[in-house]
Structure 1
Amino acid sequence: MDRPDLPLNGLRVFEAAYRQGSFTRAAIELRVTQAAVSHQVARLEDRLGVALFVRASGGLVPTDEGRALYPVLEHGFDAMARTLDRITGHRHIETLKIGVVTTFAVGWLMPRLPEFRRTHPAIVLRISTNNNRVEILREGLDMAIRYGTGSWTGLEADLLLDAPLAPLCAPSIAKHLTNPETLGREVLLRSYRSDEWPRWFAEAGASCPPLTGPMFDSSLAMADIASEGAGVALLPVDMFARRIADGRLVQPFSTVLSAGSYFLTWPADRPPTPAMVDFRRWLRAVSAGSTSHASD
């Protein structure tokens, strides 16, 4: 059976467009014009006799055929690169692009990265931070670490760390807090997850006061404001252990709320690269050690 003579360049352009979710961003990555990317994809679709994308106002939406083709190409291009490196005698350097929620990056991951670089010198990590809103494929990422319940459509997820929440504040405020009801006299800083304070008060056996404090999409911003004495923030305690240890923040009550955990996620339909496998294995081992140490 005759097979279509598929242009390698067209396949590479399709792979970049799929990953970027945009002809424009793919063109920037490949250093060509947007028109050239569109032409290459259209030519490939004509050769295959199927549509690979649906052009929508929000960007490119892959068809079923496009979603089936992408992981095969991605795996193939990576395999070719490793084989060529072996043939030419070069050590294969693999780049791994990771999106990380900022609180986890600053409070846990970054201090541990020197160990990863030491034990995995052939993997270059490119880390971009976010406020827990990330789209792996559209942002050209391989994996993402995020906060939640572990259930995201189309993604695999490994539990890394539980992240119980508790009120944290400056020492000047903590000395006035004798029981949960006294929090009603303070400014309660809020995240975009509006149910957290009511759930914490319920866990503490107290009534939740009216919530009128400012709302934030960053736990780090709330921690900064709380440490200045401008309010009380409900935060993942373990991510701010250093601030608690140096006295900038105080945990006035032992009650904690189990509202979510940190997970490593990646597309379910994407064959993992060797770098993804190594990073996942390292992260699971280090987080397991961290959990064990925290429970000692």
Structure 2
Amino acid sequence: MTYSSDDILPPFEALQAALAAARTGSFTAAAEELEVTHATISRRVELAEKWFQCALFDRHARGVTVTATGQIALVKVAHAFDQLKQARQLRPGGQTLPVVKLATTASFARFWLIPRLIELEGSPQDLRIELVTSALNASLSSGEVDLAIRYGRGQWNDGDEEPLFDESLCPVASPDVISMNEQPLSLIQNTALLHTGDTTLWRAWMSHHGKRLTSRPADRVLGDYAQAIEAARSGLGIALWNPAIHSLEAFNGQLVALDALNCPSPLRFFLLSKPGPAHTPPMRVRSRLRRLLNLSQETKTTAN
């Protein structure tokens, strides 16, 4: 018996370990999450790689990174796990509740999507939305998800694309940082900048204001937008807030926006969908999402 045989599935624990390592970025963190030893994770990942007949990870001193081939394989594994979970989602009386798989970023899910999830699922609830928030783009064309909300410049060639918001970038920081007796632009040039993975947004913001982005030792790179916003609230520097996806009211005055320094964003959120009849669950979610966006835009127009 070999794990590479087409008729033999790899051990469930091996796939679980590979997904945990991809999610956490290290065998050590995966071991802590699954409450096993580092050696166990390493052994299980090797079993998964033996079955796939390819390296799923590049190992290095600080952890692991998923290989290009590993990304394709593990997205499909995550999809298969989700299908197993969906098999348990039944209405009372045994009637299956339609499930719409929607992929998006963790930050967008937290700030915009989850607060509106009940409305998107219908009242009374006529479908269930399963969120996929992996850093890897789940594919619509292969059927891994039904809808996707992605952040970037578009042109993914993975379904119909439509921009969701007119987006902007606004510097925000804690009141302690803002209270320094400096002009806003000088404050930003002399304060740690909080980046979300790369320098794209701050570079665009600086260019809009006639400045050039320079790297400083105090700057920080955070894992995602939500982490950058939280770091700004904690007084660690200045982040770029996207007013289109959430307000600052929930922060109870712990974040202050420099509204005068607002500028357009070079990146946008896009809704990706596959063509289909209007009555299907994915298209119903798409229609409801559009309605919520229109209501949100009308509310902002009335407020202004």
Given the two structures, how large is their TM-score scaled by the length of structure 2?
A: 0.62
The 3 A distance-change label for structure 1 pair 272 and 285 is closer
User: Are the counterparts in 2 of residues 92 and 122 from structure 1 also a CA contact under 8 Å?
Assistant: no
**Residue of structure 1 in register with 2:244 after alignment:** 238
User: Are the counterparts in 2 of residues 171 and 248 from structure 1 also a CA contact under 8 Å?
Assistant: yes
Q: Which has more helix, going by share of residues?
A: 1
Partner SS state of residue 238, structure 1: coil
Structure 2 residue runs of 5 or longer lacking an equivalent are 1-7, 13-51, 55-68, 73-92
The answer to which of 97-106 and 157-166 deviates more is 157-166
**Identical pairs, percent:** 22
Match of 1:164 among 154, 162, 168: 168
Partner SS state of residue 281, structure 2: helix
**Residue of structure 2 in register with 1:262 after alignment:** 269
User: Are the counterparts in 2 of residues 165 and 259 from structure 1 also a CA contact under 8 Å?
Assistant: no
Shift of 1:194: 1.9
Structure 1 residue runs of 5 or longer lacking an equivalent are 1-22, 29-54, 62-88
Matched, 1:208 2:213: yes
Shift of 1:159: 2.1
- What is the 5 A alignment of 1:162-241? 162-176=166-180, 177-212=182-217, 213-241=219-247
**Residue of structure 1 in register with 2:36 after alignment:** none
Counterpart AA for 1:289: L
Aligned length: 220
**Residue of structure 1 in register with 2:99 after alignment:** 95
CA distance in 2, matches of 1:244, 1:197: 24
CA distance in 1, matches of 2:164, 2:176: 34
CA distance in 2, matches of 1:292, 1:130: 32
Structure with higher Rg: it is 1
Shift of 1:273: 7.6
Shift of 1:130: 3.6
CA distance in 1, matches of 2:223, 2:70: 25
Matched, 1:283 2:289: yes
Counterpart AA for 1:263: F
- What is the 5 A alignment of 1:1-296? 57=54, 58=69, 93-119=97-123, 121-131=125-135, 133-136=136-139, 140-176=144-180, 177-212=182-217, 213-243=219-249, 246-254=252-260, 255-267=262-274, 274-296=280-302
